[in-house]
Amino acid sequence: MSSEQRKAFPFSEFEPKWQGEWEAKKAFRTPNPGDADFDASKPKYFVLDMFPYPSGNGLHVGHPEGYTATDIIGRFKKMSGFNVLHPMGWDAFGLPAEQYAIKTGTHPRVTTEANVANFTKQLKSLGFAYDWDREVNTTDPGYFKWTQWIFLKLYNSYVGDDGKAHPVSELEDQGLSREEIDHRRLAYVSEAPVNWCPQLGTVLANEEVVDGKSEVGGFPVERRPMRQWMLRITAYAQRLIDELDGLDWPESIKLLQRNWIGRSEGAHVTFKVDGIDETITVFTTRPDTLFGATYMVLAPEHRLVDEITTEEQLAAVEEYREKTARKSDLERTELAKEKSGVFTGAYAINPVNNERIPIWIADYVLMGYGTGAIMAVPAHDERDFEFAKKFELPIKQVVQPPEGHDWQGYTDNGIAVNSGFLDGLPTLEAKHKIAAWLEEKGLGKGTTNFKLRDWLFSRQRYWGEPFPIVWEDGQHRSIPESELPLLPPTLEDFKPTGTPEPPLSKATGWVQYSATAKRELNTMPQWAGSCWYYLRYCDARNSERFVGEAAEKYWMGGGKPGGVDLYVGGTEHAVLHLLYARFWHKVLFDLGYVSTPEPFQRLVNQGLILGEDGQKMSKSRGNVVNPDDVVREYGADALRLYEMFMGPLEQVKPWSMKGVEGVYRFLARVWRLVMEQNEEGSWSVSAALQDVPANKQLTKALHETIKKCGEDIEKLSFNTAISQMMVCTNAFTGAEVKPASAIVTFLKVLSPFAPHLAEELNQQIRARFPALAAPGFLSDETWPAYDPAALIEDEVEVVFQVNGKLRDKARVPVAASKEEIEKIALASPRVQEFMEGRPVKKVIVVPGKLVNVVV
């Protein structure tokens, strides 16, 4: 109790109280279309946070940053007459729980449940207005049933000539063979080389490999060919670029995605191999430089290497190929500074001039991009230039750069030279002409290439969604939807097998689907569950469908490309999660299951919160701030308010406990506007609080605050909204008599930010002035309207400048005309002094603002 007395206001009593009230009365339950209390006349607002992975460490202060922002928006929109969908859930599959299981034998489900319970308790202690009835958990069979169901949709779909997903049954109707169909599925099996990490005992996606090491743990990663499930995201590459246009996302994030997808326009050109009946097709973005191709390079893995290598070069080529195959990605990039390669002994014929050019292999050409073969134009490509210098290959100029540039290694546009019929043409025209020429001769054609690769979708793990697939006679097939959800087997031993064989192989009974069929042993990656969770929120308890049609139409509709009105989360998901979710959404859209082409209309990335030392928070630095401690010391409202007051939401900013104290003091000042303490230390409604109208000055402060806070919340400029509330509070603090109804209005404005304090004070005021306070929750009140008339003053201060420098100010009537103001300004002794008798050249008058006299 003694520590209670040190508190400036009794937040530790009323915060849990209001959390209990909200929960008991389901204050933030959001009815769905079809529910008895659903009001279809209201517009909808779907505000979403990136749901957390419930780790064993609990919340860190970064979580409540975005969550508070969305909570303020959600509460504000609710008060502004919207049906607000503001849910929370758990992205709970994933490696940490599994690794913990390996260490301790505790089942991941047990760990996950405990962590979810802890996170829930923590989030509830912050007073977020979630509709907990819509909570989702990716590891819940009722949820992943539908993740598996969506996988089956991908498995049973292909992309047609119209660029849209269609059921593969259409291909069956067209009489395509089983094999042909398998080649077109959006979920398909591939033998491609993958990133195998021996320590983790799993294959990783390219995105999970950083600098040749695993993102988790930093273990070395090798390349090895393995049978994997892939998702054909590349079929959507163009749409994933194009359909960014209609979204309200930061341009920098759109750019990040566009670059990741990496569209580039160019041409395929086919070269004959000299002496044998083979051709090699290359992809180039600079077909205009074809005359400058002095050699050709194949990726070491290119299938034609065996065919074309001459006897004399065989040994060298074999050695080089083995060396590259052994190299990890890390080594391959590390050695990138120094080019390497081997001559195959073969020559290709340049189709434009019939020149014989040597064919090399080199690991700077990647098998996974384009055709895995390039024509090398060393004069106008940096990499080819480097390679040619190292191996003393000829360098031939075919582009004339503008004055002042060396042609050697010049890669920009210029004028074609030494290029036969292209000579004299600027690069762009030369590209068109050569493309037409190639097409006419049947030697090539214009093509578009993407950097984006198909999505490696299988993992050799236990704690993930099992694939609803079985294998029989070397062929895969889906299990019937009626068998979903397919639960993972119960395992005692979670250790990786140490071979690429997934841990599910240990569940021998589970594996055996029938006498002749075995289950797929891979599981889905963590991304799977987060690809569609926002849809499940719309109708989280539906057991008939992944989301009910009416609910999806209402919450995801609204006439914009994206369904979620606001999505807040960290930049770390700028590419992968957002790209994957967009891809799945488009497939579901094409198949008619959702009503918008995009999932997220408006995206905002919150900035990282650093430690007090300005460094990234980490256990090893000892600068981690635990939100539970802040709540205990200063209360949930202070934490919420501080996180928003620190600075712009998008910005990276350091934590400051002093700053928390600052907003805490502000909240205490608000408390004392209403409450006073007697000598025993107990609080009661202050005698200064009276049922009187606010004077003109307070009314103005209040209405300015209503206006600015409303506008700032829409802009997510919470820091400036809070400073305006501070200004308003300071004005009220200075008043002898506190007008009760004005304070109630102020509390409504404060309530989205500091909901506990606002509700408590409203209740206290209601006890004294029943007619003035809100009868129920402030969150059920309407956001106050401001009176523009209250903002207008009779007089405004006008600044007088001479030659742009501030020289004097005066208060003038608002209604004063330009001429009147100018007259007052010119009459000012200070203005005259600085005019020094020089003649007036020009006078600029901005009514209500300033006068600038130019002499």
Site for RNA in 782-801 (CB under 7 A): 797, 799, 801
> Do 110 and 71 contact (CB within 8 A), yes or no?
no
Q: Give the interface segment with RNA, choosing from 77-85, 490-498, 761-769, 804-812 (CB under 7 A).
A: 804-812
- Based on the shown chain and the rule CB under 7 A, indicate whether residue 208 belongs to the binding site for RNA: no
**CB-nearer residue toward RNA: 417 or 843:** 843
Touching RNA, residues 602-621 (CB under 7 A): 616
Q: Which of 176, 349, 652, 688 binds RNA (CB under 7 A)?
A: 652
**CB-nearer residue toward RNA: 92 or 452:** 452
H-helix or E-strand spanning residue 272: strand 263-273
H-helix or E-strand spanning residue 65: helix 63-79
Give min distance, CB of 360 to RNA, in A.
13
Give min distance, CB of 727 to RNA, in A.
5
End-to-end distance of the chain based on CA atoms, in angstroms?
71
Q: Give the interface segment with RNA, choosing from 139-147, 304-312, 490-498, 665-673 (CB under 7 A).
A: 665-673
Which letter, b or e, does each residue of 497-521 get, where b requires 16 or more Cβ atoms within 10 Å of its Cβ?
A: eeebebbbebbeebbebeeebebbb
| SS3 (DSSP) at 568 | strand
Touching RNA, residues 806-845 (CB under 7 A): 806-807, 809, 830, 842, 844
Please state, in angstroms and rounded to a whole number, the distance separating the CA atoms of residues 414 and 158.
43
Angle between helices 63-79 and 636-645 (to 10 degrees): 100
- The tokens 């589970």 sit on which residue? 510
| SS3 (DSSP) at 78 | helix
Give min distance, CB of 853 to RNA, in A.
9
- Based on the shown chain and the rule CB under 7 A, indicate whether residue 697 belongs to the binding site for RNA: no
Q: Give the interface segment with RNA, choosing from 73-81, 473-481, 760-768, 802-810 (CB under 7 A).
A: 802-810
CA angle 596, 599, 604 (to 5 degrees): 135
- The count of chain residues that interact with RNA, using the rule CB under 7 A, is 82
Residues 42-81 as x/- pattern, contact with RNA by CB under 7 A:
----------------------------------------
Angle between helices 755-768 and 636-645 (to 10 degrees): 120
Q: Which of 323, 665, 766, 768 binds RNA (CB under 7 A)?
A: 665
Q: Which of 566, 558, 560, 561 is nearest to 585 (CA)?
A: 561
Please state, in angstroms and rounded to a whole number, the distance separating the CA atoms of residues 211 and 354.
42
Residues 234-273 as x/- pattern, contact with RNA by CB under 7 A:
-----------------xx--xx--xx-x-x-x-------
Q: Which of 114, 330, 511, 854 binds RNA (CB under 7 A)?
A: 854
Q: Give the interface segment with RNA, choosing from 66-74, 527-535, 578-586, 725-733 (CB under 7 A).
A: 725-733
Give min distance, CB of 783 to RNA, in A.
21
Torsional sign, CA 803, 806, 807, 808: positive
Give min distance, CB of 213 to RNA, in A.
13
- Based on the shown chain and the rule CB under 7 A, indicate whether residue 374 belongs to the binding site for RNA: yes
Give residues with Cβ within 8 angstroms of 296, minimum separation 6: 271, 280, 282, 348, 357, 358, 359, 360, 373, 374, 375, 376
Q: Give the interface segment with RNA, choosing from 120-128, 219-227, 472-480, 656-664 (CB under 7 A).
A: 656-664
> Do 685 and 765 contact (CB within 8 A), yes or no?
yes
Please state, in angstroms and rounded to a whole number, the distance separating the CA atoms of residues 220 and 46.
42
> Do 533 and 91 contact (CB within 8 A), yes or no?
yes
- Based on the shown chain and the rule CB under 7 A, indicate whether residue 214 belongs to the binding site for RNA: no
- Based on the shown chain and the rule CB under 7 A, indicate whether residue 719 belongs to the binding site for RNA: yes
Q: Which of 49, 131, 381, 539 binds RNA (CB under 7 A)?
A: 381
Please state, in angstroms and rounded to a whole number, the distance separating the CA atoms of residues 71 and 45.
12
Q: Which of 58, 198, 662, 776 binds RNA (CB under 7 A)?
A: 662
Touching RNA, residues 430-449 (CB under 7 A): 449
Q: Give the interface segment with RNA, choosing from 55-63, 80-88, 110-118, 330-338 (CB under 7 A).
A: 330-338
> Do 608 and 616 contact (CB within 8 A), yes or no?
yes
> Do 124 and 23 contact (CB within 8 A), yes or no?
yes
**CB-nearer residue toward RNA: 192 or 591:** 192
Q: Which of 487, 767, 785, 846 binds RNA (CB under 7 A)?
A: 846
Please state, in angstroms and rounded to a whole number, the distance separating the CA atoms of residues 21 and 597.
39
Q: Which of 29, 272, 389, 451 binds RNA (CB under 7 A)?
A: 451
Touching RNA, residues 668-687 (CB under 7 A): 668-669, 672
Q: Which of 67, 112, 161 is nearest to 609 (CA)?
A: 67
Please state, in angstroms and rounded to a whole number, the distance separating the CA atoms of residues 83 and 738.
34
Q: Give the interface segment with RNA, choosing from 105-113, 131-139, 415-423, 724-732 (CB under 7 A).
A: 724-732
Q: Which of 12, 238, 720, 832 binds RNA (CB under 7 A)?
A: 720
Give min distance, CB of 797 to RNA, in A.
4
**Strands 136-137 and 89-90, sheet pairing:** parallel
- Based on the shown chain and the rule CB under 7 A, indicate whether residue 731 belongs to the binding site for RNA: no
Q: Give the interface segment with RNA, choosing from 216-224, 329-337, 515-523, 684-692 (CB under 7 A).
A: 329-337
Give min distance, CB of 664 to RNA, in A.
8
